[in-house]
Amino acid sequence: MKAVPMTIIPLLAILAATDASAQRVDVAKITCKQFLIGSIIRRDYLALWLSGYYNGTRNDTVVATDTVQKIAGKVGTYCEANLDATLMDAIQSELGVNK
């Protein structure tokens, strides 16, 4: 009987910790400058999203940390040279993914 409440407590803690004012972000509108300084959303979160977006276009369901870092690195390098470009431009240019 005690096992049920003990399994519910972590679930309730996770639910209570979620931000009630969750924000929606249109990645197509994020500029390279915003990506680099993390002014819209944390850069590591976007890097993970980029990996998922890229892998989704390839029907690849595996998330590998080195792949996430490589993708973020390629996009970051492009963005450093093209601050006014959009993040989607960087994705298209560096990863060959169409918008």
**Model pLDDT, residue 55:** 84
Q: Inform me whether the pLDDT recorded for 21 exceeds 60.
A: no
Say if 8 falls within a structural domain.
no
**Model pLDDT, residue 14:** 53
Say if 3 falls within a structural domain.
no
Q: Residue 58's domain spans which residues? A: 25-95
48 within 8 A of 27, measured Cβ to Cβ: no
SS3 17: helix
Rounded-to-integer distance, Cα 21 and Cα 6, Å? 28
Say if 41 falls within a structural domain.
yes
41 CB-near residues (< 8 Å, 6+ apart) = 25, 30
Nearest to 30 by CA among 82, 79, 86, 98: 86
pLDDT digits (tens, 9 = 90+) for 49-91: 888 888 888 898 888 888 888 888 999 999 999 999 999 999 8
* CATH number for the domain that contains residue 39: 1.10.890
Say if 70 falls within a structural domain.
yes
Number of domains composing the chain:
1
pLDDT digits (tens, 9 = 90+) for 22-47: 678 888 899 999 999 988 888 888 88
- Band (pLDDT 50/70/90 cuts) for residue 16 is low
